[in-house]
Amino acid sequence: MNLIIDIGNTNAKIAVFDHDNIVEADTIKTSNIIEGINKFTQKYKAVNRAIISNVSISDNHEIKEHLSLQSVCFLSENLKLPFKNLYKSKETLGSDRIALASAVIKHYPNSNVLVIDAGTCITMDFIDKNGNYHGGSISPGIDMRYNSLSNNTSNLPELEKKYPSDIIGSSTEESIHSGIVNGVIFEIRESISEYQGNYKDIKVILTGGDSVFLSKPLKISIFANQNFLLEGLNFILNLNINS
């Protein structure tokens, strides 16, 4: 059995897979990652290998000390990956983007795919039908945009995200909602349009924490399940163990 650990800046996801099938998954605070790992390893004694994707400040050495397993690997560009990486600065490619690209290869092989991860940041990644990863874009996520306005100005309020009622904001609050939410929607729509202009048969996948919030106005047909990234990590682990 495989233990899959995805550590973000705020939250972490831990899952156990039996081959390709997810047995259990949980989301916890990154600050509680050691307790979460201990909970899963004590519950699932058959777990004998793990992969860790870590984008936070958590100490990898401390984490590994709590994993007395047959095999433990940390996600990086040095592992065997299921796609050909054409990114120019491979060493800077985020582990989340590597995992998502791997999940794309597993679920949508031989397809041109644009995967959009709407989370803390909004990342777009393109994988062509020949299994080549090209890169994409990174921009601030919805919450980051709201926080930036309230933290970096003296007169704009701190707001929770909300669908704007109109493109024209008739108050400061409505103007912020229109600027941020409509701005994100327009950004993603236009990006999709550009990709579709170059790749007529492209599949567009939406995932991430804000995917539900954005799915209705964007009308994207492929809505990835919440474990999509974890499935990508499990795919990479199996590829490296079996190679």
Residues acting as catalytic residues: 96
The span from the CA of 163 to the CA of 218, in Å, is 12
Both structure tokens of 149: 């306005």
- Residue in the structure block whose two tokens are 């996948």: 205
- Say if residues 180 and 146 touch (Cβ distance below 8 Å): yes
